[in-house]
Structure 1
Amino acid sequence: MEAEGLDWLLVPLHQLVSWGAAAAMVFGGVVPYVPQYRDIRRTQNADGFSTYVCLVLLVANILRILFWFGRRFESPLLWQSAIMILTMLLMLKLCTEVRVANELNARRRSFAVLPAQALPLASGAVECIKMVLMWTSGDAFKTAYFLLKGAPLQFSVCGLLQVLVDLAILGQAYAFARHPQKPALHAVHPAGTKAL
């Protein structure tokens, strides 16, 4: 009798949690790209972002939408794909604009190239770790969502593969952050003399 009396609270609470999970599914995938978009826009430097990430996510999400026409699945997964496609197109647009502007500026001025320093490389690796951690948490949530909601098996398998790839990338980024490659400060000529 007491459980029946709590139905007025449990049913709306369950619905609220379900809506929250659906909203997290729809918008959670783009969250890692928000700080990266802002950093690229602020620094006008897109060198740390690979457009291959956009390519892979565009293809994957377009295929998911096409899959929906053959076998219907939950609408939050469909909306998540549409929003991810829009996000990747925005990232590509920004990266293209920044890279074109940087190339034009580089051609306009000529300057000597100084040896690369290890600190900016380590800094970039730390930034990469933060990004991959956000990817991993998002992919883990997405995979759990697929499993709990009974999404087609292909989604769960792809989610698990994404988490494994994220963990491999995270391991590489962590190893690089701990032991960055030290650049050569000088070159040795074949004759044995050193030059800057």
Structure 2
Amino acid sequence: MDGGLDMAEEEVEASWGLMSWLASSVMVLGGSVPYVPQYQEITRSGNTEGFSTRVCLVLLIANILRIFFWIGKQFELTLLLQSVVMILTMFAMLHLCCSIQGSNRVSTKQHRISDLDLRYFWCWTSFEDYVIFCFGFTVACALLTFFFLDSLLFVEALGSLAVLFEAMLGLPQLMQNFQNRSTRGMSVKMVLLWMAGDVFKTAYFVLNESPAQFCVCGGLQILIDIAILLQVVYYGQADSRLKLL
């Protein structure tokens, strides 16, 4: 009898272990999945106007900060791996955008990070400039973390900044849609996947009792996702009215 109970308990533990592993895998890789349809859309159309590269800026800063937050406060390894995967994904998106813009550029004017012109910040024409900026930002974070690692206030502030930037993930896309008065060129699938991922990870944060900053971040991201989807509906109706005219 005891042997049967032990076997049943082992099966339950194995099932929970498998579910935990699957949830962790989704957390690590799931954040990058929404960018697959946007990557395909840019490649197909040869146009980057519908996608805000400032989304990449927000996510690169957020995930670099999160890595240093992990150094000061070791939370789930899953979230650290997620940051590494997301940084690589953002570099892939920036590389594609630079390649497309380079092939479409008529003017010979090049905007480089070495020009120190804030008007063209994050509008550089060379992928290497984005890498240089991220490298410099990482070195600055590393130095600050080295000197203030023993300060609980600094570590918590680092975590709060990381999730604040991540919570603003959809804001550049929201603003670009507003400026364009259209969502054409933006992958709706990307936003829907954002929404699904944000709901999943917010639930993951709550269930795993992650630092409070992560739960707040997830809630804010869901609200911004909803706002972008409302833009899709509104601007879609406006485009339909224009076609009728």
For the superposition of Structure 1 and Structure 2, which TM-score range results when normalised by the shorter chain? 0.7 to 0.9
CA distance in 2 between counterparts of 1:123 and 1:151 reads 34
CA distance in 1 between counterparts of 2:236 and 2:15 reads 43
Name the structure 2 match of 1:136.
195
Tell me, yes or no, if the aligned pair for 1:28 and 1:138 is still in contact at 8 Å. Answer: yes
2:71 aligns with one of 44, 69, 72 = 69
What 5-or-longer segments of structure 1 have no aligned partner? 106-120, 186-196
1:167 aligns with one of 205, 221, 226 = 226
User: Structure 1 residues 128, 40: closer, same or farther in 2, change over 3 A?
Assistant: closer
CA distance in 1 between counterparts of 2:192 and 2:215 reads 20
1:90 aligns with one of 89, 92, 115 = 92
Tell me, yes or no, if the aligned pair for 2:29 and 2:85 is still in contact at 8 Å. Answer: yes
Q: Deviations over 1:80-134 (max 9, x none)?
A: 01100110011001001101211139xxxxxxxxxxxxxxx98827x54322111
Tell me, yes or no, if the aligned pair for 1:128 and 1:173 is still in contact at 8 Å. Answer: no
Name the structure 1 match of 2:242.
182
Opposite residue 23 of structure 2, the aligned amino acid is A
> Displacement of 1:3 after TM fit?
4.9
**Number of positions where the alignment pairs a residue of Structure 1 with one of Structure 2:** 170
Q: Deviations over 1:9-42 (max 9, x none)?
A: 1111111000000000000000011121122223
Task: Give the share of equivalent positions with the same residue, in percent.
Answer: 49
Tell me how large the CA RMSD over aligned residues is: 2.6
SS of equivalent to 1:150? coil
Opposite residue 89 of structure 1, the aligned amino acid is F
Scaled by the length of structure 2, the TM-score of the pair is: 0.63
Q: How does 1:99-110 map to 2 (within 5 A)?
A: 99-104=101-106
Opposite residue 174 of structure 1, the aligned amino acid is V
Q: Deviations over 1:38-61 (max 9, x none)?
A: 222233222211101111111111
Give the ranges of 4+ consecutive aligned residues of structure 1 lying more than 6 Å apart after TM superposition.
Answer: none
1:53 aligns with one of 43, 52, 55 = 55
Tell me, yes or no, if the aligned pair for 2:37 and 2:189 is still in contact at 8 Å. Answer: no
Scaled by the length of structure 1, the TM-score of the pair is: 0.78
CA distance in 1 between counterparts of 2:242 and 2:187 reads 18
Q: Which has the larger Rg?
A: 1
Q: Deviations over 1:139-174 (max 9, x none)?
A: 111111111111110011111111111111111122
CA distance in 1 between counterparts of 2:232 and 2:35 reads 18
User: Structure 1 residues 162, 123: closer, same or farther in 2, change over 3 A?
Assistant: closer
SS of equivalent to 2:106? helix
Tell me, yes or no, if the aligned pair for 2:37 and 2:187 is still in contact at 8 Å. Answer: no
User: Structure 1 residues 75, 92: closer, same or farther in 2, change over 3 A?
Assistant: same
Q: Which has the higher contact order (CA 8 A, sep 6+)?
A: 2
Opposite residue 182 of structure 1, the aligned amino acid is L
Tell me, yes or no, if the aligned pair for 2:32 and 2:86 is still in contact at 8 Å. Answer: yes
Tell me, yes or no, if the aligned pair for 2:182 and 2:235 is still in contact at 8 Å. Answer: yes
> Displacement of 1:179 after TM fit?
2.4
CA distance in 2 between counterparts of 1:9 and 1:57 reads 39
Name the structure 2 match of 1:157.
216
CA distance in 2 between counterparts of 1:159 and 1:52 reads 19
